[in-house]
Amino acid sequence: MTATATTPAPLNSPARVITASMIGTTIEFYDFYVYATAAVLVFPQLFFPTGNSTTALIASFGVFGAAMIARPIGAIFFGHLGDKRGRKTTLVVSLLTMGIATFLIGLLPTFHSVGLLAPILLLVLRLAQGFALGGEWSGAALVATENAPEGKRAWYGTFPQVGAPLGFIIANGIFLSISAALPPDAGALQSEAFLTWGWRVPFLFSAVMVIVGLWVRLKLVESAAFTDAEKRGAIRKLPLSTTFRFHWREVVLGTFIMLATYVLFYLMSSFTLTYGTAKATASPAGLGIGYTQFVLMQIIGVIFFGLFTLLSGPLADSIGRRKLLLGVTAVIIVFGLAFPLWFSGQADPLFTGAMAQAGLIIGFTLMGATFGPMGALLPELFPTNVRYTGSAIAYNVSSILGAAVAPIIAVALWAQAGGSTWLVGVYLAGSGVLTLIALFLSRETKDTDYSAASVEDELELVGTSPR
């Protein structure tokens, strides 16, 4: 798969490619962030009223993590569809599935109305969200990179990645606006109106965004790389079987290459919101920063996330994906070991807030630098006829090892350490070590030829690889 031929000319205009890849992931991540925020603010009270705040929070994050388990199933389904029928159809179906599930969450009855049926329905819809996201990211990354000009794949691959910070800002911006419009009484985190109907608005609003996303994606034309694979008869009946027969090593490496990125991301977005807004007198103790203030602090950090996501693309095109990620991952390990330096309660509230803000900026900056190149690196590990399946499985299996358990493990470690975050930092550093090992074992993909014949194609020519 070394560069030996010129990549076919793109069939879609750069503006259409960038918009279609970015708007879909923005919507998908918006839907995920809306749930993540509600999992902290309202779901423990409305769907898991256990009488113990820590247990309720862990139960809420448990349903949040359940979606990650559904993601590899979605990766297999949408990967098969994308490698058999094309990227465009798959992207439309995944976006529609995600949008319907999110909208229906906004209509759910609570535990106080229907008892245990409420968390069960929430779990079902959350699984549908995860199933849809399992096919979304890889399709968007393939639309971007398979239509990229020569030498700019990593740059184009950052546009679907930018959907993550954009979705975060939109989701939390809407929650902040609703909280401001429905202010709580003194001493309360949320008002009665917010708990009754205000939290539903962001979920229902997703329908508007999905309609816009569908309109853009329906205008896409299939990529030249996929249509060329069709013409030469390289499309497989069972892409999953082909992936694990010939490319299992790339799946394993891709999974662990993504691990530190996932753990860092969900620690910075979900865990820090929980820790930062928990009262300093609570058990376990938090920073005692108000919800509105801390979300604004996160949004400042996420701006750096988006900026460095975009900056990482040209750098990865210049020096290579592997070299860049080796350096960034080493810094993530150091950041993890220094975690309590940024996130720990101090006698001076202003100093506490300033250090937390610095930690959020550093963490989200590293997030952008590691997440940006993934849009190119993971697809480049696989040939065209299994590129959707292979990259989707690696990306989403990593979500189980990283994202699904990260908030739960972090909360448990925080409680175990009596309110300190040092164990949380060790957890992040450990994930970084595993990613570093995977990067050392992987190859540089910068010069991968997207139009090259795959290993199984070449074997088939000599009659050793059945379809």
Query: To the nearest whole number, what is the mean pLDDT of the chain?
Result: 86
Q: Which residues contact 26 (CB under 8 A, 6 or more apart)?
A: 162, 163, 166, 167, 170, 209
Most confident among 84-88, 232-236, 265-269, 300-304 (mean pLDDT) = 300-304
Please say whether the beta carbons of 308 and 369 come within 8 A: yes
Q: What does the pLDDT read at residue 189?
A: 67
Q: Is residue 9's pLDDT more than 50? A: no
Rounded Cα–Cα distance for residues 129 and 99 (Å): 8
Work out the average pLDDT over 239-253. 92
**381 DSSP β-pair partners:** none
Measured CA distances, 49 to 17, 58, 196, 281 (Å):
45, 12, 15, 22
Torsion angle in degrees (nearest 10) through CA of 305, 298, 273, 434: 20
- What are the pLDDT digits (tens) for 17-72? 888 888 878 887 887 788 878 887 888 889 988 767 778 877 887 887 777 788 88
Q: What does the pLDDT read at residue 5?
A: 44
Rounded Cα–Cα distance for residues 297 and 277 (Å): 12
Q: What does the pLDDT read at residue 168?
A: 87
Element (H, E) at 332: helix 321-337
Q: Tell me, letter by letter, the H, E, C secondary structure of 259-275.
A: HHHHHHHHHHHHHHHHH
Closest C-alpha among 29, 5, 8 to residue 221: 8
Q: Which residues contact 345 (CB under 8 A, 6 or more apart)?
A: 280, 285, 286, 287, 288, 352, 419
Q: Which two tokens stand for residue 358?
A: 């610095």
Alpha carbon of residue 302 to chain centroid: 14
Q: Which residues contact 66 (CB under 8 A, 6 or more apart)?
A: 123, 126, 127, 130, 404
Please say whether the beta carbons of 178 and 194 come within 8 A: yes
Q: Is residue 354's pLDDT more than 60? A: yes
9: number of Cβ within 10 Å? 9
Q: What does the pLDDT read at residue 348?
A: 85
Greater confidence (400 vs 392) lies with 392
DSSP 373-435: THHHHHHHTS-GGGHHHHHHHHHHHHHIIIIITHHHHHHHHHHHTTT--HHHHHHHHHHHHHH
- The CA angle 60-62-67, to the nearest 5 degrees, is 105
- What are the pLDDT digits (tens) for 162-209? 998 999 899 888 988 998 898 877 666 678 888 889 999 999 998 888
User: Quick check: pTM over 0.75?
Assistant: yes
Task: DSSP letter for 186, please.
Answer: T
Closest C-alpha among 395, 439, 415 to residue 61: 415
Q: Is 88 left (phi over 0), alpha (psi -120 to 50) or beta?
A: alpha
- What are the pLDDT digits (tens) for 369-388? 999 999 999 999 998 888 98
Q: Tell me, letter by letter, the H, E, C secondary structure of 102-169.
A: HHHHCCCCCHHHHCCHHHHHHHHHHHHHHHHHHHHHHHHHHHHHHCCCCCCHHHHHHHHHHHHHHHHH
Q: What does the pLDDT read at residue 313?
A: 95
pLDDT band with cut points at 50, 70 and 90 for residue 457: low
Domain 14-461 matching CATH 1.20.1250.20: the answer reads yes
Task: DSSP letter for 47, please.
Answer: T
Please say whether the beta carbons of 363 and 339 come within 8 A: no
pLDDT band with cut points at 50, 70 and 90 for residue 301: very high
Q: Which residues contact 256 (CB under 8 A, 6 or more apart)?
A: 398, 434, 435, 437, 438
Q: Which residues contact 69 (CB under 8 A, 6 or more apart)?
A: 127, 130, 400, 404
Q: What does the pLDDT read at residue 255?
A: 96
Please say whether the beta carbons of 423 and 417 come within 8 A: yes
